[in-house]
Amino acid sequence: MISIDTVSKHYGSFQVLTDCTTQVKKGEVIVVCGPSGSGKSTLIKCVNGLEPFQSGTITVNGVSVGDPKTNLSKLRSHVGMVFQHFELFPHMSITDNLTIAQEKVLGRNKDEARDKGLKLLDRVGLKAHAAKFPGQLSGGQQQRVAIARALAMDPICMLFDEPTSALDPEMINEVLDVMVELAQEGMTMMCVTHEMGFARKVANRVIFMDKGQIVEDDSKDAFFGAPRSERARQFLAKILQH
Amino acid sequence: MYEFDWSSIPGALPFLWEGMKVSLEITLSAVIFGIVWGTALAMMRLSPVKPLSWFAAGYVNLFRAIPLVMVLLWFFLIVPQVLRGAFNLDPNTDVRLTSAMIGFALFESAYYSEIIRAGIQSVPKGQVSAASALGMSYAQAMRLVVLPQAFRNMVPLLLTQAIVLFQDTSLVYVSALADFFGAAYKVGDRDGRLVELLLFAGLVYFLICFAASQLVRRYQKKLNAHVAH
Ligand SMILES: Nc1ncnc2c1ncn2[C@@H]1O[C@H](COP(=O)(O)OP(=O)(O)OP(=O)(O)O)[C@@H](O)[C@H]1O
Ligand SMILES: [Mg+2]
The per-residue pLDDT for range B162-216, each reduced to its tens digit, is 999 999 998 888 777 888 999 999 888 888 888 889 999 999 999 999 999 999 8
Calpha distance A27→A43 (Å, rounded):
20
Tell me what pLDDT residue B227 has: 57
Residue of A91, A104, A106 with shortest CB distance to B148: A91
Segment A179-188, tens digit of pLDDT = 999 999 999 9
| Residue spans of chain B under pLDDT 50 | 228-229
* A241 has pLDDT over 80: no
Q: Which residue has its alpha carbon closest to ligand 1 atom 30?
A: A37
- Backbone φ and ψ of A56, nearest 5°: 90, 180
Enumerate the β-bridge partners of residue A205. A30, A219
Tell me what pLDDT residue A242 has: 59
Among A9, A15, A16, A209, name the best residue to mutate to test ligand 1's pocket (greatest count of ligand atoms within 8 A of Cβ).
Answer: A16
Long-range contacts of B49-56 (CB under 8 A, 24+ apart): B56/B113
Residue A37 CB less than 6 A away from ligand 1: yes
Sheet (strand A29-33) strand order: A79-82, A157-161, A189-192, A29-33, A205-210, A213-219
- The closest of B137, B139, B157, B132 to B35, measured between CA atoms, is B157
A37 C-alpha to ligand 1 centroid (Å): 5
Enumerate the β-bridge partners of residue B34. none
Q: Which residue has its alpha carbon closest to ligand 1 atom 6?
A: A11
Query: What's the pTM value of the predicted model, to 2 decimals?
Result: 0.85
Residues of A in contact with B128 (CB under 8 A): none
Please report which helix (H) or strand (E) contains residue A169, including its range.
helix A169-184
**pLDDT class of A64 with cuts at 50, 70, 90:** very high
* A39 has pLDDT over 70: yes
Contact B134/A74, CB-based, under 8 Å? Answer: no
CATH of domain B8-228: 1.10.3720.10
Tell me the residues of A at the B interface, defined by beta carbons under 8 Å apart. Answer: 45, 48, 50, 73-74, 76-81, 83, 85, 87-91, 100-101, 104-106, 135-136, 149-150, 153
Relative orientation angle of helices B8-46 and B50-64, to the nearest 10 degrees:
150
First vs last C-alpha separation in chain A = 34
Strand stretches in A91-227, DSSP E: 157-161, 189-192, 205-210, 213-219
Residue A164 CB less than 6 A away from ligand 1: no
Percent of chain A with pLDDT over 70: 99
Residue A13 CB less than 6 A away from ligand 1: no
- The closest of B26, B12, B17, B32 to B173, measured between CA atoms, is B26
Mean pLDDT of all residues in A224-241: 80
Q: Which residue has its alpha carbon closest to ligand 1 atom 25?
A: A36
Among A20, A31, A41, name the best residue to mutate to test ligand 1's pocket (greatest count of ligand atoms within 8 A of Cβ).
Answer: A41
3-class DSSP state for residue A21? Answer: strand
> Domain boundaries in chain B?
8-228
Tell me the DSSP string of A207-240.
EEEETTEEEEEEEHHHHHH--SSHHHHHHHHHHH
Contact B134/A149, CB-based, under 8 Å? Answer: yes
Segment A191-222, tens digit of pLDDT = 999 998 899 989 999 999 999 999 999 888 88
Residue A73 CB less than 6 A away from ligand 1: no
Alpha-carbon distance B119 to nearest alpha carbon in chain A (angstroms): 15
Segment A10-25, tens digit of pLDDT = 998 899 999 999 999 9
Using an 8 Å Cβ cutoff, are A29 and A183 in contact? yes
Tell me what pLDDT residue A229 has: 82
Using an 8 Å Cβ cutoff, are A211 and A40 in contact? no
Q: What is the mean pLDDT of chain A?
A: 92
> Three-class SS string for chain B?
CCCCCCCHHHHHHHHHHHHHHHHHHHHHHHHHHHHHHHHHHHHHHHCCCHHHHHHHHHHHHHHHCCCHHHHHHHHHHHHHHHHHHHHCCCCCCCCHHHHHHHHHHHHHHHHHHHHHHHHHHHCCHHHHHHHHHCCCCHHHHHHHHHHHHHHHHHHHHHHHHHHHHHHHHHHHHHHCCCCHHHHHHHHHHHHCCHHHHHHHHHHHHHHHHHHHHHHHHHHHHHHHHHHHC
Residue A48 CB less than 6 A away from ligand 1: no
Contact B135/A153, CB-based, under 8 Å? Answer: yes
Region for A162 from its dihedrals, namely left if φ exceeds 0, alpha if ψ lies in -120 to 50, beta otherwise: left
Tell me what pLDDT residue B100 has: 86
Torsion sign across C-alpha atoms A216, A220, A222, A224: positive
A168 C-alpha to ligand 1 centroid (Å): 23
> Considering every ligand atom, which ligand is closest to the CA of A83?
2
Contact A87/B127, CB-based, under 8 Å? Answer: yes
Calpha distance A160→A80 (Å, rounded):
8
Relative orientation angle of helices B194-228 and B8-46, to the nearest 10 degrees:
40
3-class DSSP state for residue A62? Answer: coil
Calpha distance B147→A173 (Å, rounded):
35
Question: ipTM value of the model?
Answer: 0.92
B122–chain A Cβ distance below 8 A for any pair: no
Q: Is B172 exposed, middle or buried (0-12, 13-18, 19+ CB in 10 A)?
A: buried
Task: Pick the more confident residue, A80 or B72.
Answer: A80
Torsion sign across C-alpha atoms A107, A111, A116, A122: positive
